[in-house]
Amino acid sequence: MSSPSPSTSRLAPAETEGAALNDTASIEDTEAHAIRVLLVDDHDLFRTGLRNLLEEQGVEIVAEASSGSEALHYVREAAPDVVVMDLNMPGMTGVEATRHISRDAPLTRVVVLTISDQEQDVMDAILAGACGYLLKDASIQELMQGLEAAAVGESLISPHIAGKVLQHVRATTAAPEAAATIRTELSDREIQVLKLIANGKDNAVIAGELHISPKTVKNHISNILMKLQIENRIQAAVYAVRSGIV
Residue 11, C-beta contacts closer than 8 angstroms, at least 6 positions apart: 49, 50, 53, 136, 138, 139, 140, 143
Does the pLDDT at position 66 exceed 60? Answer: yes
Give dist(CA 88, CA 136) in Å, integer.
Answer: 13
Q: pLDDT tens-digit profile of 74-111?
A: 999 999 999 999 999 989 999 999 999 999 998 999 99
Domain boundaries, the chain: 27-165, 174-243
CATH of domain 27-165: 3.40.50.2300
Whether the per-residue pLDDT at 11 is higher than 90: the answer is: no
Please report the pLDDT score of residue 136 as a whole number.
92
Number of residues in the chain: 246
Do 27-165 and 174-243 agree at the fold level?
no
Q: What is the pLDDT of residue 180?
A: 87
Distance in Å from the first CA to the final CA of the chain: 36
Q: How far apart are CA 222 and CA 162, in angstroms?
A: 21
CA atoms within 13 A on the CB side of 171: 8
pLDDT band for position 38 (cuts 50, 70, 90) = very high
Given a cut of 60, is residue 25 above it in pLDDT? no
CATH class of this structure's domain 174-243: mainly alpha
pTM: 0.71
- Report the alpha-carbon distance of residue 86 to residue 16 in Å, rounded: 24
